[in-house]
Structure 1
Amino acid sequence: MRRSHADHRLGTIARDHGQLAARARSFATGEESNGAVSGRPLLPSEQLAQ
């Protein structure tokens, strides 16, 4: 899957796989998490794929 296929993005910073998984779980359950941000792209998908 390319990034242009998703309308929503999640970006994370983690020291290891365990921390990454914990931040992804927090996001999935709606909890706030340091080191994770989400949002929608500002440009239409076709412009991002170039």
Structure 2
Amino acid sequence: MSKLPTTENTETFIMRISPELKNKLNQLARQSKYGGNASSAIRYLIENASRYN
């Protein structure tokens, strides 16, 4: 039996967005600092924004 993943990165976040916004998010995610996918981009933006609050 395989080991269960840690809870550090297993939370689920669901958000409805328009197709236009989805395209913008995917374009943003292609930039190297965002990790290459939409999930990484959202994670990066949330973590970065929380530093300023």
The structure whose Rg is larger is: 2
Which has the higher relative contact order, 1 or 2, with Cα contacts under 8 A spaced 6 or more apart? 1
Query: Which range, TM-score by smaller chain?
Result: 0.3 to 0.5
The TM-score normalised by the length of structure 1 is: 0.33
Structure with greater helix share of residues: 2
